[in-house]
Amino acid sequence: MSSKEKIINGYRHIEYNSEVISGDESAERCRSFYEWLDTRRSVRHFSDREVSREIIENIIRAGGTAPSGAHKQPWKFCAVSNAEMKSRIRQAAEKEEQENYNSRMSERWLKDLAPLGTDDNKEFLEIAPWLIIVFKEAYELDENNEKHNNYYVNESVGIACGMLISAIHNAGLATLTHTPSPMNFLSDLLDRPKNERAYLLLPVGYASEEAFVPDLKRKKLSEISDFYE
């Protein structure tokens, strides 16, 4: 519990009590955090083993800690475990993906995807015990039903999804970022309000005992960074 407070622009601010740790401790923590994050992979082979609602709730809470433009928290996480609903989502997603793989995607795109081994079969949408569909809230309505656009919505929701994915990994669970395109069928199937747009679909569950992932390599530090010291 923080004790000190301050009023800024008429609003209460509370003291931020950051943990004070040594440089060595920081170095050790971020090395081991990176090594742990590096074990995460996008998984497409799931077990149907049950995952409790409590686990999903805390994963969503973790996603909801993300920073957002003007603290509008412009996200909604829809968690689906209902088998009938999952099956409807699979059917609609596969319909779009068939179009994508057979005509909408360019030759180059298909070539780039070849190493991942993806196709229009989205069996995982029924096998994984949960689907989390993330919606972004493009705008909010005030008391007079007037629209006000949210700020930096894509950035905010993207960050929240990153935190959600880390929380899923932390729970010993697997996921992948599935983006059936176009995704508006999700708004219809889940009967979402008009200010929400589907952003990302994440199947969540335990990886199946025999799960395979492509043998991909991440870019090296020197390829993903430039330092200006």
Q: Which residues bind ligand IYR (CB under 6 A)?
A: 97, 100, 113, 116, 118, 178-181
Q: Which is nearer to ligand IYR, 62 or 93 (CB)?
A: 93
* Least distance CB 89 / ligand IYR (angstroms): 13
Q: Which residue of the chain is nearest ligand IYR when measured via CB?
A: 118
What amino acid is encoded at 92 in this protein?
A
* Least distance CB 179 / ligand IYR (angstroms): 5
Q: Which is nearer to ligand IYR, 107 or 142 (CB)?
A: 107
Cα 179 to Cα 122, 132, 182, 183, 203, distances in angstroms: 11, 12, 8, 7, 11
* Least distance CB 45 / ligand IYR (angstroms): 14
* Least distance CB 184 / ligand IYR (angstroms): 14
Q: Is the peptide bond before 180 cis (omega within 30 degrees of 0)?
A: no
* Least distance CB 226 / ligand IYR (angstroms): 25
Q: Which is nearer to ligand IYR, 46 or 150 (CB)?
A: 46
Q: Which is nearer to ligand IYR, 64 or 158 (CB)?
A: 158
Q: Cα angle at 62 between 52 and 93, to 5 degrees?
A: 65
| DSSP label at residue 161 | H
Q: Which is nearer to ligand IYR, 33 or 212 (CB)?
A: 212
Please provide the DSSP assignment of 179-225 as one string: --SS-THHHHHTT--TTEEEEEEEEEEPBPTT-------PPPHHHH-
